[in-house]
Amino acid sequence: MVRLPDEPAGHVADVLTFDWSLVRYAAPLLAQGLAVTLKISALAIVFGTLLGFVFGLLSVGPVAPLRWFVRAYVDFVRGTPLLIQVFLVYFALPVVGINLSEFWAGVVALSLNAAGFIAEIVRAGISSIELGQTEAAKSIGMTPRQVLTFILLPQIYRPVLPPLTNELIALVKGSSLLSVISVYELTRAGQAIISERFVPFEIYTMIALYYYVVISFLSWLSRSLEQRLHAW
Amino acid sequence: MSSPLLCVSRLTKRFGARVAVDACSLDVSEGEIVVIIGPSGCGKTTLLRCINHLETPTAGTVTLRGATIAGSERELPLLRRRIGFVFQRFNLFHHLTALDNVAIGPERVLGLPRAEARRLARAKLDRVLMTDHVDKRPAQLSGGQQQRVAIARSLAMAPELILFDEPTSALDPELVTEVLDVMKSLALEHMTMIVVTHEMSFAGQVADRVLFMDAGAFVEEGSPAQMFSSPTQERTSRFLSHLLR
Protein backbone atom coordinates (compact mmCIF):
# COMPACT_ATOMS: atom_id res chain seq x y z
CA MET A 1 0.00 0.00 0.00
CA VAL A 2 1.24 3.42 -0.87
CA ARG A 3 1.33 5.61 2.18
CA LEU A 4 0.32 9.18 1.61
CA PRO A 5 2.98 11.47 3.03
CA ASP A 6 0.48 13.84 4.63
CA GLU A 7 -1.49 11.16 6.48
CA PRO A 8 -0.85 11.35 10.21
CA ALA A 9 1.40 8.43 11.11
CA GLY A 10 -0.51 7.55 14.27
CA HIS A 11 -3.93 7.08 12.65
CA VAL A 12 -3.55 3.49 11.42
CA ALA A 13 -1.81 2.56 14.61
CA ASP A 14 -4.66 3.98 16.69
CA VAL A 15 -7.21 1.69 15.14
CA LEU A 16 -5.07 -1.41 15.50
CA THR A 17 -3.73 -0.67 18.94
CA PHE A 18 -5.07 -2.92 21.60
CA ASP A 19 -6.10 -0.75 24.50
CA TRP A 20 -4.26 -2.35 27.41
CA SER A 21 -5.70 -0.10 30.04
CA LEU A 22 -9.07 -1.44 29.02
CA VAL A 23 -7.84 -4.95 29.75
CA ARG A 24 -7.11 -3.94 33.33
CA TYR A 25 -10.58 -2.43 33.59
CA ALA A 26 -12.43 -5.33 31.96
CA ALA A 27 -10.56 -8.29 33.39
CA PRO A 28 -12.19 -8.29 36.83
CA LEU A 29 -15.65 -7.62 35.37
CA LEU A 30 -15.27 -10.46 32.92
CA ALA A 31 -13.98 -12.63 35.76
CA GLN A 32 -17.30 -12.08 37.54
CA GLY A 33 -19.10 -13.20 34.41
CA LEU A 34 -16.74 -16.14 34.08
CA ALA A 35 -17.58 -17.21 37.62
CA VAL A 36 -21.26 -17.37 36.67
CA THR A 37 -20.43 -19.22 33.44
CA LEU A 38 -18.44 -21.76 35.45
CA LYS A 39 -21.16 -22.14 38.05
CA ILE A 40 -23.91 -22.64 35.46
CA SER A 41 -21.77 -24.98 33.37
CA ALA A 42 -20.77 -27.07 36.37
CA LEU A 43 -24.36 -27.44 37.53
CA ALA A 44 -25.56 -28.22 34.00
CA ILE A 45 -22.73 -30.74 33.52
CA VAL A 46 -23.75 -32.55 36.70
CA PHE A 47 -27.51 -32.53 36.05
CA GLY A 48 -27.16 -33.06 32.31
CA THR A 49 -24.81 -36.01 32.73
CA LEU A 50 -26.96 -37.64 35.41
CA LEU A 51 -30.15 -37.16 33.43
CA GLY A 52 -28.39 -38.20 30.22
CA PHE A 53 -27.25 -41.47 31.79
CA VAL A 54 -30.75 -42.14 33.13
CA PHE A 55 -32.28 -41.44 29.71
CA GLY A 56 -29.58 -43.48 27.99
CA LEU A 57 -30.27 -46.46 30.24
CA LEU A 58 -34.02 -46.11 29.72
CA SER A 59 -33.46 -46.11 25.96
CA VAL A 60 -31.97 -49.61 26.17
CA GLY A 61 -34.29 -50.70 28.99
CA PRO A 62 -37.21 -53.12 28.97
CA VAL A 63 -40.07 -50.60 29.25
CA ALA A 64 -41.24 -49.70 25.74
CA PRO A 65 -43.12 -46.44 26.57
CA LEU A 66 -40.01 -45.12 28.31
CA ARG A 67 -37.89 -46.02 25.30
CA TRP A 68 -40.33 -44.12 23.07
CA PHE A 69 -40.27 -41.15 25.40
CA VAL A 70 -36.46 -40.96 25.31
CA ARG A 71 -36.50 -41.42 21.52
CA ALA A 72 -38.91 -38.50 21.13
CA TYR A 73 -37.01 -36.42 23.66
CA VAL A 74 -33.68 -36.92 21.90
CA ASP A 75 -35.32 -36.13 18.56
CA PHE A 76 -36.69 -32.88 19.93
CA VAL A 77 -33.44 -31.78 21.53
CA ARG A 78 -31.43 -32.59 18.42
CA GLY A 79 -34.00 -31.11 16.09
CA THR A 80 -34.31 -27.65 17.62
CA PRO A 81 -31.71 -24.91 18.21
CA LEU A 82 -30.37 -24.50 21.72
CA LEU A 83 -31.27 -20.81 21.57
CA ILE A 84 -34.93 -21.71 21.06
CA GLN A 85 -34.76 -24.24 23.88
CA VAL A 86 -33.41 -21.51 26.15
CA PHE A 87 -36.33 -19.25 25.21
CA LEU A 88 -38.79 -22.08 25.72
CA VAL A 89 -37.56 -22.77 29.22
CA TYR A 90 -37.39 -19.08 30.11
CA PHE A 91 -40.61 -17.83 28.52
CA ALA A 92 -42.81 -20.90 28.20
CA LEU A 93 -42.38 -22.48 31.61
CA PRO A 94 -43.90 -19.46 33.47
CA VAL A 95 -47.04 -19.98 31.36
CA VAL A 96 -47.53 -23.36 33.01
CA GLY A 97 -46.78 -21.88 36.41
CA ILE A 98 -43.10 -22.69 36.74
CA ASN A 99 -41.12 -19.55 37.47
CA LEU A 100 -37.38 -19.81 37.39
CA SER A 101 -34.77 -17.12 37.83
CA GLU A 102 -32.61 -16.40 34.77
CA PHE A 103 -29.80 -18.34 36.39
CA TRP A 104 -31.86 -21.48 37.02
CA ALA A 105 -33.64 -21.21 33.70
CA GLY A 106 -30.19 -21.28 32.16
CA VAL A 107 -29.11 -24.29 34.20
CA VAL A 108 -32.32 -26.14 33.31
CA ALA A 109 -32.11 -25.34 29.59
CA LEU A 110 -28.46 -26.40 29.29
CA SER A 111 -29.04 -29.54 31.39
CA LEU A 112 -32.05 -30.64 29.35
CA ASN A 113 -30.17 -30.00 26.13
CA ALA A 114 -27.05 -31.89 27.22
CA ALA A 115 -29.16 -34.76 28.60
CA GLY A 116 -30.59 -35.41 25.15
CA PHE A 117 -27.18 -35.69 23.53
CA ILE A 118 -25.64 -37.63 26.41
CA ALA A 119 -28.54 -40.11 26.37
CA GLU A 120 -27.59 -40.91 22.80
CA ILE A 121 -23.89 -41.20 23.69
CA VAL A 122 -24.67 -43.61 26.54
CA ARG A 123 -27.01 -45.66 24.35
CA ALA A 124 -24.31 -45.95 21.69
CA GLY A 125 -21.73 -46.86 24.35
CA ILE A 126 -23.85 -49.68 25.72
CA SER A 127 -24.70 -50.97 22.24
CA SER A 128 -21.01 -51.04 21.38
CA ILE A 129 -20.39 -53.82 23.91
CA GLU A 130 -20.81 -57.17 22.24
CA LEU A 131 -24.12 -58.85 22.86
CA GLY A 132 -22.20 -62.02 23.71
CA GLN A 133 -21.11 -60.64 27.08
CA THR A 134 -24.71 -59.87 28.00
CA GLU A 135 -25.72 -63.38 27.01
CA ALA A 136 -22.87 -64.91 29.00
CA ALA A 137 -23.92 -62.86 32.03
CA LYS A 138 -27.51 -63.99 31.62
CA SER A 139 -26.40 -67.58 31.28
CA ILE A 140 -24.81 -67.51 34.73
CA GLY A 141 -28.08 -66.21 36.10
CA MET A 142 -27.59 -62.46 36.24
CA THR A 143 -30.70 -60.32 36.22
CA PRO A 144 -30.89 -57.50 33.65
CA ARG A 145 -29.98 -55.05 36.40
CA GLN A 146 -26.91 -57.05 37.39
CA VAL A 147 -25.83 -57.31 33.75
CA LEU A 148 -26.02 -53.53 33.51
CA THR A 149 -24.25 -52.84 36.82
CA PHE A 150 -21.48 -55.41 36.71
CA ILE A 151 -20.87 -56.03 33.02
CA LEU A 152 -22.02 -53.16 30.80
CA LEU A 153 -21.57 -49.94 32.80
CA PRO A 154 -17.98 -50.66 33.90
CA GLN A 155 -17.05 -51.05 30.25
CA ILE A 156 -18.64 -47.95 28.74
CA TYR A 157 -16.75 -45.21 30.57
CA ARG A 158 -13.75 -45.24 28.32
CA PRO A 159 -15.52 -45.34 24.95
CA VAL A 160 -18.05 -42.78 26.19
CA LEU A 161 -15.51 -40.28 27.49
CA PRO A 162 -14.40 -38.62 24.20
CA PRO A 163 -17.92 -37.96 22.83
CA LEU A 164 -19.02 -36.95 26.32
CA THR A 165 -16.20 -34.41 26.46
CA ASN A 166 -17.28 -32.96 23.11
CA GLU A 167 -20.79 -32.59 24.47
CA LEU A 168 -19.63 -30.91 27.67
CA ILE A 169 -17.50 -28.50 25.63
CA ALA A 170 -20.54 -27.69 23.53
CA LEU A 171 -22.42 -27.08 26.75
CA VAL A 172 -19.87 -24.56 28.02
CA LYS A 173 -19.94 -22.76 24.67
CA GLY A 174 -23.73 -22.92 24.62
CA SER A 175 -23.87 -21.15 27.97
CA SER A 176 -22.96 -17.97 26.09
CA LEU A 177 -26.48 -18.05 24.61
CA LEU A 178 -27.85 -17.42 28.09
CA SER A 179 -26.80 -13.80 27.58
CA VAL A 180 -30.07 -13.41 25.67
CA ILE A 181 -32.09 -14.02 28.83
CA SER A 182 -29.77 -11.61 30.67
CA VAL A 183 -27.90 -14.12 32.75
CA TYR A 184 -24.83 -12.15 33.78
CA GLU A 185 -22.40 -14.78 32.49
CA LEU A 186 -19.16 -14.20 30.60
CA THR A 187 -20.65 -13.10 27.27
CA ARG A 188 -23.28 -10.88 28.90
CA ALA A 189 -20.65 -9.31 31.15
CA GLY A 190 -18.59 -8.50 28.09
CA GLN A 191 -21.53 -7.05 26.22
CA ALA A 192 -22.23 -4.76 29.17
CA ILE A 193 -18.72 -3.34 28.91
CA ILE A 194 -19.02 -2.98 25.14
CA SER A 195 -22.26 -1.06 25.32
CA GLU A 196 -20.77 1.21 27.92
CA ARG A 197 -17.44 1.91 26.17
CA PHE A 198 -17.89 0.64 22.64
CA VAL A 199 -14.76 -1.48 22.51
CA PRO A 200 -16.00 -4.69 20.83
CA PHE A 201 -12.63 -5.80 19.45
CA GLU A 202 -10.82 -5.86 22.78
CA ILE A 203 -13.67 -7.31 24.76
CA TYR A 204 -14.65 -10.05 22.34
CA THR A 205 -11.00 -11.05 22.08
CA MET A 206 -10.81 -11.28 25.84
CA ILE A 207 -14.06 -13.24 26.04
CA ALA A 208 -12.74 -15.67 23.44
CA LEU A 209 -9.57 -16.16 25.47
CA TYR A 210 -11.52 -16.79 28.67
CA TYR A 211 -13.66 -19.45 27.00
CA TYR A 212 -10.60 -20.94 25.36
CA VAL A 213 -8.83 -21.39 28.68
CA VAL A 214 -11.85 -23.05 30.31
CA ILE A 215 -12.41 -25.40 27.39
CA SER A 216 -8.73 -26.26 27.09
CA PHE A 217 -8.82 -27.26 30.73
CA LEU A 218 -11.81 -29.52 30.06
CA SER A 219 -10.04 -31.16 27.11
CA TRP A 220 -6.91 -31.70 29.16
CA LEU A 221 -8.94 -33.20 32.01
CA SER A 222 -10.66 -35.58 29.61
CA ARG A 223 -7.43 -36.68 27.99
CA SER A 224 -5.67 -37.41 31.25
CA LEU A 225 -8.76 -39.24 32.54
CA GLU A 226 -8.87 -41.31 29.37
CA GLN A 227 -5.26 -42.33 29.84
CA ARG A 228 -5.91 -43.35 33.39
CA LEU A 229 -9.00 -45.44 32.60
CA HIS A 230 -8.10 -49.02 31.90
CA ALA A 231 -8.00 -50.25 28.35
CA TRP A 232 -8.64 -53.92 27.80
CA MET B 1 -36.05 -95.53 35.80
CA SER B 2 -35.75 -92.08 37.28
CA SER B 3 -37.24 -89.18 35.36
CA PRO B 4 -34.86 -87.34 33.04
CA LEU B 5 -32.92 -84.31 34.19
CA LEU B 6 -33.90 -82.24 31.18
CA CYS B 7 -36.99 -82.64 29.03
CA VAL B 8 -37.25 -80.72 25.78
CA SER B 9 -40.69 -81.17 24.33
CA ARG B 10 -41.72 -80.19 20.81
CA LEU B 11 -39.51 -77.11 20.96
CA THR B 12 -40.08 -74.81 18.00
CA LYS B 13 -38.43 -71.55 17.04
CA ARG B 14 -39.48 -69.46 14.08
CA PHE B 15 -37.75 -66.32 12.85
CA GLY B 16 -40.48 -64.71 10.79
CA ALA B 17 -41.43 -67.27 8.17
CA ARG B 18 -38.26 -69.31 8.64
CA VAL B 19 -38.49 -72.29 10.97
CA ALA B 20 -35.11 -72.66 12.70
CA VAL B 21 -36.11 -75.40 15.12
CA ASP B 22 -39.04 -77.63 14.24
CA ALA B 23 -40.77 -79.44 17.11
CA CYS B 24 -37.63 -80.99 18.57
CA SER B 25 -37.99 -83.31 21.55
CA LEU B 26 -35.12 -84.55 23.65
CA ASP B 27 -34.74 -86.09 27.08
CA VAL B 28 -31.39 -86.02 28.82
CA SER B 29 -30.72 -88.13 31.90
CA GLU B 30 -28.41 -87.18 34.70
CA GLY B 31 -24.79 -87.79 33.75
CA GLU B 32 -25.61 -88.31 30.10
CA ILE B 33 -23.53 -86.77 27.36
CA VAL B 34 -25.45 -85.92 24.23
CA VAL B 35 -23.68 -84.70 21.11
CA ILE B 36 -25.65 -82.91 18.43
CA ILE B 37 -24.20 -82.80 14.93
CA GLY B 38 -25.54 -81.40 11.69
CA PRO B 39 -24.80 -79.02 8.85
CA SER B 40 -24.34 -75.36 9.69
CA GLY B 41 -27.58 -73.44 9.79
CA CYS B 42 -29.57 -76.54 10.70
CA GLY B 43 -30.74 -75.06 14.00
CA LYS B 44 -28.36 -76.71 16.49
CA THR B 45 -27.25 -73.44 18.03
CA THR B 46 -30.78 -72.05 18.13
CA LEU B 47 -31.95 -75.21 19.87
CA LEU B 48 -29.30 -74.81 22.58
CA ARG B 49 -30.09 -71.13 22.99
CA CYS B 50 -33.79 -71.92 23.35
CA ILE B 51 -33.11 -74.43 26.11
CA ASN B 52 -32.01 -71.71 28.54
CA HIS B 53 -34.15 -69.04 26.91
CA LEU B 54 -31.37 -66.89 25.53
CA GLU B 55 -33.76 -67.22 22.61
CA THR B 56 -37.46 -67.36 23.45
CA PRO B 57 -38.98 -70.44 21.84
CA THR B 58 -42.04 -69.94 19.66
CA ALA B 59 -43.62 -73.11 21.01
CA GLY B 60 -42.80 -76.13 23.11
CA THR B 61 -41.48 -76.53 26.64
CA VAL B 62 -38.24 -77.18 28.43
CA THR B 63 -38.23 -78.56 31.96
CA LEU B 64 -35.30 -79.05 34.28
CA ARG B 65 -36.06 -81.55 37.04
CA GLY B 66 -39.70 -80.80 36.54
CA ALA B 67 -39.30 -77.01 36.65
CA THR B 68 -40.47 -75.35 33.45
CA ILE B 69 -37.94 -72.92 32.04
CA ALA B 70 -40.04 -69.94 31.10
CA GLY B 71 -41.15 -66.61 32.40
CA SER B 72 -40.01 -63.02 32.37
CA GLU B 73 -36.45 -61.78 32.44
CA ARG B 74 -37.04 -61.36 36.16
CA GLU B 75 -37.90 -65.02 36.73
CA LEU B 76 -35.54 -66.67 34.23
CA PRO B 77 -32.24 -65.94 36.03
CA LEU B 78 -33.05 -68.39 38.83
CA LEU B 79 -33.48 -71.16 36.27
CA ARG B 80 -30.67 -70.12 33.94
CA ARG B 81 -28.03 -70.27 36.62
CA ARG B 82 -28.68 -74.01 36.98
CA ILE B 83 -27.65 -74.52 33.34
CA GLY B 84 -24.13 -73.73 32.19
CA PHE B 85 -23.59 -72.34 28.72
CA VAL B 86 -20.28 -72.32 26.86
CA PHE B 87 -20.27 -70.13 23.79
CA GLN B 88 -18.51 -70.52 20.49
CA ARG B 89 -16.87 -67.12 20.94
CA PHE B 90 -16.14 -67.52 24.69
CA ASN B 91 -17.87 -64.23 25.59
CA LEU B 92 -15.67 -63.49 28.57
CA PHE B 93 -16.15 -60.19 30.37
CA HIS B 94 -13.41 -58.02 28.89
CA HIS B 95 -12.95 -55.74 31.88
CA LEU B 96 -12.36 -58.53 34.38
CA THR B 97 -9.39 -60.80 35.04
CA ALA B 98 -9.77 -64.54 34.50
CA LEU B 99 -10.28 -64.92 38.24
CA ASP B 100 -13.01 -62.29 38.41
CA ASN B 101 -14.69 -63.65 35.29
CA VAL B 102 -15.18 -66.87 37.21
CA ALA B 103 -15.80 -65.33 40.65
CA ILE B 104 -18.41 -62.79 39.59
CA GLY B 105 -21.17 -65.41 39.27
CA PRO B 106 -20.73 -66.98 42.72
CA GLU B 107 -20.30 -63.53 44.27
CA ARG B 108 -23.08 -61.58 42.59
CA VAL B 109 -25.55 -64.28 41.67
CA LEU B 110 -25.10 -66.84 44.44
CA GLY B 111 -24.23 -64.19 47.02
CA LEU B 112 -21.06 -65.80 48.36
CA PRO B 113 -18.66 -63.54 50.28
CA ARG B 114 -16.01 -62.15 47.95
CA ALA B 115 -13.12 -64.11 49.47
CA GLU B 116 -15.03 -67.36 49.23
CA ALA B 117 -16.13 -66.65 45.67
CA ARG B 118 -12.52 -66.04 44.68
CA ARG B 119 -11.38 -69.21 46.43
CA LEU B 120 -14.00 -71.15 44.50
CA ALA B 121 -12.98 -69.42 41.26
CA ARG B 122 -9.35 -70.31 41.85
CA ALA B 123 -10.29 -73.96 42.34
CA LYS B 124 -12.31 -73.99 39.12
CA LEU B 125 -9.46 -72.34 37.20
CA ASP B 126 -7.12 -75.01 38.59
CA ARG B 127 -9.61 -77.54 37.34
CA VAL B 128 -9.28 -76.25 33.74
CA LEU B 129 -5.47 -75.92 34.07
CA MET B 130 -5.48 -72.12 34.11
CA THR B 131 -3.72 -71.73 37.45
CA ASP B 132 -0.93 -69.62 35.98
CA HIS B 133 -3.21 -67.12 34.27
CA VAL B 134 -5.71 -66.10 36.94
CA ASP B 135 -4.74 -62.44 36.90
CA LYS B 136 -4.76 -61.97 33.13
CA ARG B 137 -7.51 -60.25 31.24
CA PRO B 138 -9.23 -61.97 28.30
CA ALA B 139 -7.26 -59.91 25.78
CA GLN B 140 -4.04 -61.40 27.16
CA LEU B 141 -5.22 -64.99 26.73
CA SER B 142 -5.28 -67.27 23.70
CA GLY B 143 -8.59 -68.54 22.38
CA GLY B 144 -8.09 -71.92 24.00
CA GLN B 145 -7.26 -70.31 27.33
CA GLN B 146 -10.28 -68.02 27.06
CA GLN B 147 -12.54 -70.96 26.38
CA ARG B 148 -11.17 -72.80 29.41
CA VAL B 149 -11.88 -69.74 31.57
CA ALA B 150 -15.39 -69.70 30.11
CA ILE B 151 -15.82 -73.34 31.12
CA ALA B 152 -14.57 -72.53 34.62
CA ARG B 153 -17.06 -69.66 34.75
CA SER B 154 -19.86 -72.15 34.07
CA LEU B 155 -18.51 -74.69 36.54
CA ALA B 156 -18.34 -72.12 39.32
CA MET B 157 -22.13 -71.94 39.31
CA ALA B 158 -22.32 -75.70 40.04
CA PRO B 159 -24.67 -76.22 37.09
CA GLU B 160 -26.87 -79.29 36.76
CA LEU B 161 -25.94 -79.52 33.12
CA ILE B 162 -23.78 -77.60 30.67
CA LEU B 163 -24.64 -76.68 27.11
CA PHE B 164 -21.67 -76.35 24.75
CA ASP B 165 -22.26 -74.41 21.54
CA GLU B 166 -19.46 -75.36 19.14
CA PRO B 167 -16.87 -74.68 21.84
CA THR B 168 -13.88 -75.34 19.59
CA SER B 169 -14.93 -74.01 16.18
CA ALA B 170 -13.52 -70.51 16.80
CA LEU B 171 -10.14 -71.94 17.80
CA ASP B 172 -6.93 -72.48 15.90
CA PRO B 173 -6.44 -76.22 15.33
CA GLU B 174 -3.58 -76.54 17.79
CA LEU B 175 -5.71 -75.06 20.59
CA VAL B 176 -8.65 -77.39 20.10
CA THR B 177 -7.12 -80.25 22.07
CA GLU B 178 -6.69 -78.34 25.32
CA VAL B 179 -10.38 -77.46 25.36
CA LEU B 180 -11.53 -80.94 24.38
CA ASP B 181 -9.30 -82.43 27.09
CA VAL B 182 -11.06 -80.32 29.71
CA MET B 183 -14.43 -81.40 28.36
CA LYS B 184 -13.36 -85.04 28.42
CA SER B 185 -12.32 -84.70 32.05
CA LEU B 186 -15.78 -83.30 32.83
CA ALA B 187 -17.27 -86.29 31.07
CA LEU B 188 -15.26 -88.61 33.31
CA GLU B 189 -16.84 -86.87 36.30
CA HIS B 190 -20.28 -87.55 34.84
CA MET B 191 -21.18 -83.93 34.22
CA THR B 192 -24.38 -83.84 32.18
CA MET B 193 -23.62 -82.17 28.85
CA ILE B 194 -25.25 -81.33 25.57
CA VAL B 195 -22.53 -80.58 23.06
CA VAL B 196 -22.99 -79.12 19.61
CA THR B 197 -19.77 -79.85 17.77
CA HIS B 198 -18.09 -81.03 14.61
CA GLU B 199 -15.37 -82.87 16.55
CA MET B 200 -16.25 -86.41 15.62
CA SER B 201 -13.42 -88.05 17.53
CA PHE B 202 -14.58 -86.27 20.67
CA ALA B 203 -18.12 -87.43 20.03
CA GLY B 204 -16.87 -90.96 19.46
CA GLN B 205 -14.95 -91.01 22.73
CA VAL B 206 -17.36 -89.40 25.19
CA ALA B 207 -20.89 -89.27 23.79
CA ASP B 208 -23.52 -91.60 25.15
CA ARG B 209 -25.77 -90.57 22.34
CA VAL B 210 -25.33 -88.70 19.05
CA LEU B 211 -28.18 -86.83 17.39
CA PHE B 212 -28.10 -85.74 13.80
CA MET B 213 -30.06 -82.60 13.08
CA ASP B 214 -31.00 -81.20 9.71
CA ALA B 215 -33.38 -78.41 8.66
CA GLY B 216 -34.43 -77.77 12.25
CA ALA B 217 -35.40 -81.33 13.12
CA PHE B 218 -33.74 -84.42 14.56
CA VAL B 219 -33.22 -86.87 11.74
CA GLU B 220 -31.59 -89.74 13.54
CA GLU B 221 -30.06 -90.70 16.85
CA GLY B 222 -27.93 -93.52 18.17
CA SER B 223 -24.72 -94.45 19.89
CA PRO B 224 -21.61 -92.91 18.31
CA ALA B 225 -20.47 -96.27 16.95
CA GLN B 226 -23.80 -96.96 15.34
CA MET B 227 -24.18 -93.42 13.97
CA PHE B 228 -20.72 -93.17 12.48
CA SER B 229 -20.46 -96.67 11.05
CA SER B 230 -23.97 -97.47 9.93
CA PRO B 231 -26.32 -94.50 9.80
CA THR B 232 -29.79 -95.47 8.61
CA GLN B 233 -30.76 -92.15 7.06
CA GLU B 234 -29.37 -91.04 3.73
CA ARG B 235 -28.98 -87.42 4.92
CA THR B 236 -26.95 -88.56 7.91
CA SER B 237 -24.55 -90.63 5.87
CA ARG B 238 -24.14 -87.84 3.32
CA PHE B 239 -23.27 -85.37 6.10
CA LEU B 240 -20.88 -87.80 7.77
CA SER B 241 -19.16 -88.66 4.52
CA HIS B 242 -18.35 -84.96 4.08
CA LEU B 243 -17.11 -84.66 7.62
CA LEU B 244 -15.09 -87.86 7.92
CA ARG B 245 -13.50 -87.54 4.50
Q: What is the per-residue pLDDT across A172-228, written as a single tens digit (0 to 9) for each?
A: 999 999 999 999 999 999 999 999 999 899 999 999 999 999 999 999 999 998 888
A97 HSE (CA, 13 A, CB side): 0
Q: Is B54 in Cβ contact with A133 (below 8 Å)?
A: no
Look at A135 and B137 and tell me if their CB atoms are within 8 Å. Answer: no
Residue A178 phi/psi, 5-degree rounding, is -70, -10
Cβ separation B81–A141 shorter than 8 A? yes
Q: pTM to 2 decimals?
A: 0.84
- pLDDT (tens digit, 9 = 90+) per residue, B1-43? 568 999 999 999 999 999 999 999 999 999 999 999 999 889 9
- Residues of B with a Cβ under 8 Å from any A Cβ are 52, 54, 73-74, 76-78, 80-85, 87, 89-95, 104-105, 108-109, 137-139, 150, 153-154, 157
Residue A10: pLDDT band with limits 50, 70, 90 = very low
Cβ contact, residue pair A155, B95, below 8 Å: yes
DSSP string covering B71-134: S-TTTHHHHHTTEEEE-TT----TTS-HHHHHHHIIIIIS---HHHHHHHHHHHHHHTT-GGGT
Residue B185 has pLDDT above 60, yes or no: yes
pLDDT digits (tens, 9 = 90+) for A100-130: 999 999 999 999 999 999 999 999 999 999 8
Q: What is the pLDDT of residue A194?
A: 94
The radius of gyration computed from the CA coordinates of chain B, to the nearest angstrom, equals: 18
Contact (Cβ atoms closer than 8 angstroms) between residue A27 and residue A35 = no
Distance, in angstroms, between B92 CA and closest chain A CA? Answer: 6
Nearest-CA neighbor of B20 among B64, B53, B57?
Answer: B57
* Residue in chain A nearest B153 by alpha carbon: A140
Q: Where are the beta strands (DSSP E) in A66-206?
A: none
d(CA A216, CA A20): 24
Confidence bin at A151 (pLDDT 50/70/90) = very high
**Cβ A65 vs Cβ A103: under 8 Å:** no
Residue A16's pLDDT band (cuts 50, 70, 90): low
User: ipTM of this model?
Assistant: 0.93
Residue A162: partners with Cβ closer than 8 Å, 6 or more residues away:
A222, A226
B199 and B176 in contact (C-beta within 8 Å)?
yes
Q: How far is CA A86 from CA A2, A105, A184, B100, B238, in A?
A: 51, 8, 15, 47, 71
Residues of chain B neighbouring A132 (CB-CB closer than 8 A): 87, 89-91
Over range B42-52, report the average pLDDT: 95
pLDDT of A41 > 90? The answer is yes
Spatial distance between the Cα atoms of A108 and A194, rounded to a whole number of angstroms? 28
